[in-house]
Structure 1
Amino acid sequence: MTDVSFYEYSKLSADGKAALLRRSENDISSFMDKVKPILEAVRTEGDRAVARFGRELDKADISEATIKVTEAEFDAAFGLVSTDVIDAIKFGIENIRVFHEEQKPEAMWLKEVRPGAFAGDRFTPIQSVALYVPRGKGSFPSVTMMTSVPAVVAGVPHLAIVTPPAPDGSVDAATLVAARLAGVETVYKVGGAQAVAAVAYGTETIKPALKIVGPGSPWVVAAKRILAGVIDTGLPAGPSEAMIFADDTVHGGLAALDLLIEAEHGPDSSAYLVTHSRRVAEEALAALPEHWARMTAQRVDFSSTVLSGKCGGVVLTSSIQESYDFVNAYAPEHLEILSTDPFSHLGQITEAAEILMGPYTPVSIGNFCLGPNAVLPTSRWARTFGPLSVTDFVKRSSIGYVTAPAYPLFAENAHKLAIYEGFSSHANAVSPVRDAYLKPKG
């Protein structure tokens, strides 16, 4: 049996408590130097570098001629995916679309702030966005759904998916099915740091984008940081992380079941169960071997590595308040509130990107088909960022309109402030100098 990391929170030193907040992506300095030559090669060599890195890093059968997915490959994908899975993708896309349609801001609003003076906002789509869909430790049509649907709802005219190729040079068939059903038919077979560089700089085949969204490995995170001055890198979405908050109204075996959901993504994931109930903690530890017995060997390896390491395990607190404090300090990507009365705890939780309530809302449902977006900020960025949304695919312009009758009042007040701040041109623009130009020609 794997020795799962177990912590009694109140007995930890300040350094020990701080150590629990660290994620695998916190220190990516070792990746920065490795990534830089990849980015420069793509910038200078274009398709040739993209194909070369596909062969060398992804071990894929890829050439410059096969970087872009063809219409025939899209068509064939529907024959490779079972109808059950296609139906599940359709179910998820429908719910995700309903959610994001409700989230979409009105195109423009104006409010009369004073008689004859109006101010408001206008929202217009970003013209080009790249959607990153990872593949290294699995295939993720769900990420395709979560990134594509809000982008299509927002009306982005130029959308492209970048995703690592398989060894045979193909793209996961379900990912292509999800892309087409969501409304995106431009897919490039490129992943990792080279994908970020390709959409930042553009290549002979891959058109440059203004923004890239989607979760990725430390290689992707490092590339985004370096290229943040070239392309908008969106919300910080790195390796998966989850926290299962459980009170004493649930069985610990249920908490253990859900603890494994994000832990199985990969050894760089983070996953904690936090509870003030020793019974729940002990039941969870006892149940883990039973749950592992029902999982594939690879996922057991990933999740056991996480739960026995420095970024996962079971945290026993001394009180419900201490549990709240730990959740808020951690600011998790995914948070489950496992309780028969989850709303009694919700008001105490302020720092979490996604909050899934009660025993019938596991992260699995949130990840695949409930509707809210599952592309979420990681590494404590939930303190300032929210989930991916329609608003990530639009830009906001402020609108102002002052009519002739309203102008004198605004000019008077603007003139006073311009003089105080020492801006003579500002002051002149709302002075009698302007009035002379505004008089009707006689």
Structure 2
Amino acid sequence: MSDVCNFHELATLDAAARAKLLRRSEADLSSFMEKVRPIIEAVRLEGDVALARFGRDLDGAAVTPDTLKASEQEFEAAFSAVEPEVIASIRYGIANIRAFHEEQRPEPMWLKEVRPGAFAGDRWTPIDSVALYVPRGKGAFPSVTMMTSVPAVVAGVPSVSIVTPPTPDGSVDAATLVAARLAGVETVYKCGGAQAVAAVAYGTQTVKAAIKIVGPGSPWLVAAKRLLSDVMDTGLPAGPSEALIFADDSIDGALAALDLLIEAEHGPDSSAYLVTHSRRVAEEARAALPGHWARMTEQRVGFSRTVLTGPFGGIVLTPSLEESYRFVNDYAPEHLELLSTEPFVHLGRITNAAEILMGPHTPVTIGNFVLGPNCVLPTSRWARTYGPLSVTDFLKRSSVGYVTSAAYPELAGHARRLAHYEGFSAHENAVSEVRDGLMARKS
């Protein structure tokens, strides 16, 4: 049955084989790094000319240096090209995403009186400029436009742009333009992959430089982000799609198989596993896959079959519920479904997952498009330290302090002793009688 789906019995695997299951397609980027370096350098030196050339050579798109930015006419045409029902669903999703992210927005400033007359707190201000990456290589993703644009607009970023690969005729996916405008973003550039990261890092004649880029993409994009991480903030590490479908014995295996295919169909570099301690669920799921594939397009069948029979996907049968929890936490997935009729029973045992979707009525599809929480998530086990894209990714935090004259002597005395102990004489002098004398001269 390996031609249908990999089947891993966790209890029979040694440590090396188990560790292999935790790997993702972007684990080794060395080959991509070498290919990406000359692309980045060409964009830095040649600007728009290089972007147009790579658009033709790498994306097969009819772009020229003077058509790299989506025009007002293209935005208007997009609203005519996209079916009204799709536009309505984009509006619906944006409304939910906006409501969710507005709740995330912190207070602009807070101060707490830590000692009588001494105040400390935080102030939040928007990042000056951010580029949003919307992939297109294996499909169109207006959903990513929605998920990246809305929190940037809610945060109040003054300069927001989108970079996305052009279509073969040199245009931008129409639904992406619709989603951008409805979310509040008007600047869209036609460039993708490594060349897009380089363009917003250095700026070109057309593309305005940004100080941060966010958004998911291929290993080419991830490699470019790593190489340019000293030039700009490259955001949370979001690579090829990945998901774990956790299922307990209360679930029909065919339902688990249905959801296993959601992220697996993104592309051959995706990762997707069903994790269950129930042999019945595992066997039902494997048996159901051909029937589900019969209702999918040929391209998506090819992608998902490659994933589930390759090194980054399949079914993992664990020896116990505890081992299922352990595998999930070790894997630290981008997307996690808790497929159970009682999902809250399991929630407390999960510590590493960027997104946790609970119960049979909350498939990844709903999370990806319309529920509200962000679907731009850390991949490749980065969920151990990162969370989903949020409003705070588009804000910067400054500490604020204010000490009154009445509170100063007490704080200064303690600070002076610590400065003296650490051997910092300028620190010590700044809170000594030297300061007292200087301040007295101005009073």
Normalising by the smaller structure, the TM-score range is over 0.9
For 1:26, the aligned partner's letter is A
Tell me what 1:125 maps to. 126
Contact 2:271 2:307 in 1 (8 A): yes
Contact 2:127 2:396 in 1 (8 A): yes
Tell me what 2:233 maps to. 232
For 2:297, the aligned partner's letter is T
Tell me what 1:241 maps to. 242
Question: What are the residue-to-residue correspondences of 1:376-395 with 2, within 5 Å?
Answer: 376-395=377-396
1:200 equivalenced with 2:212 (yes/no): no
For 1:34, the aligned partner's letter is K
Distance 1:57 1:416 in 2: 63
**CA shift digits 1:38-61 (9 cap, x unpaired):** 000000000000001001100100
For 2:432, the aligned partner's letter is S
Displacement of 1:192: 0.5
Tell me what 1:31 maps to. 32
**CA shift digits 1:102-150 (9 cap, x unpaired):** 0001100000000000000000000000000000000000000000000
For 1:6, the aligned partner's letter is F
Distance 2:24 2:440 in 1: 65
Question: What are the residue-to-residue correspondences of 1:270-289 with 2, within 5 Å?
Answer: 270-289=271-290
Displacement of 1:440: 5.6
Tell me what 2:156 maps to. 155
Question: What are the residue-to-residue correspondences of 1:40-59 with 2, within 5 Å?
Answer: 40-59=41-60
Tell me what 2:135 maps to. 134
Distance 1:9 1:310 in 2: 15
Tell me what 1:361 maps to. 362
Q: Which runs of 4+ in 1 moved over 3 A?
A: none
Tell me what 1:175 maps to. 176
Distance 1:286 1:37 in 2: 47
Displacement of 1:3: 3.0
Distance 1:227 1:267 in 2: 26
Displacement of 1:277: 0.3
Question: What are the residue-to-residue correspondences of 1:43-442 with 2, within 5 Å?
Answer: 43-439=44-440, 441=442
Displacement of 1:441: 4.8
* Alignment TM-score, normalising by the size of structure 1: 0.99
Distance 2:282 2:421 in 1: 63
Q: Which runs of 5+ in 1 are unaligned?
A: none
**CA shift digits 1:272-327 (9 cap, x unpaired):** 00000000001100110110000000000000000001100000001000000000
Q: CA RMSD in A?
A: 0.7
Distance 1:79 1:367 in 2: 25
Distance 2:286 2:38 in 1: 45
**CA shift digits 1:387-433 (9 cap, x unpaired):** 00000000000000000000000000000000000000000000000
- The structure-2 alpha-carbon separation of the partners of 1:435 and 1:278, relative to structure 1 and needing over 3 Å to count, comes to same
Q: Which runs of 5+ in 2 are unaligned?
A: none
Q: Secondary structure at the match of 1:439?
A: helix
For 1:33, the aligned partner's letter is E
* Alignment TM-score, normalising by the size of structure 2: 0.99
Distance 2:47 2:227 in 1: 18
Distance 1:3 1:262 in 2: 17
For 1:104, the aligned partner's letter is R
Give the length in aligned residue pairs.
Answer: 442
**CA shift digits 1:85-108 (9 cap, x unpaired):** 000000000000000000001100
